[in-house]
Amino acid sequence: MRAEDIRLTLNRSAIVVKPKQPFLDWLHGADSTSSDLTLGELALEPAIYLIPECDPPAEVADVLHELCEEIFVEQLAGWFNDTTTWPPDRGFDVFCRWFDYQHHSMLIDFCDELPIRERD
């Protein structure tokens, strides 16, 4: 293997976020067009968030305490934008009741192109 063929490990961690039943209950109540959606369908393409590099579970929890409200808002807005229907408490405890998450600390970039940063 040539040195230029070695892929780069990113200095980030990733969090995969999947909705749980409270999220689905909220969505069904907030958006009448979503009444046929199931948890399985919501989990088909989970969101993956790049977060600061962290590894031990305590470090991951610290990072999530800081970012959970931002992730929560991204999840809500991705399905229904009427903020009056959103839960007022979007702290870590509620986040953990509404979402499953899985941490990944090893991210390897197989792309030759540089990432493009875009804002919605």
- Cα 42 to Cα 10, 12, 47, 96, distances in angstroms: 28, 25, 10, 17
User: According to DSSP H, which parts of 1-120 are helical?
Assistant: 21-30, 39-42, 57-79, 92-98
For residue 26, what pLDDT is reported?
98
The full set of domain ranges for the chain reads 7-109
* Mean pLDDT score across all residues of the chain: 91
The CA distance from 50 to 55, in Å, is 13
**Cα gap 100→86, rounded to integer Å:** 18
Q: Using one digit for the tens of pLDDT, what is the confidence trace for 40-64?
A: 999 999 999 999 999 888 999 999 9
- Mean pLDDT along residues 84-94: 97
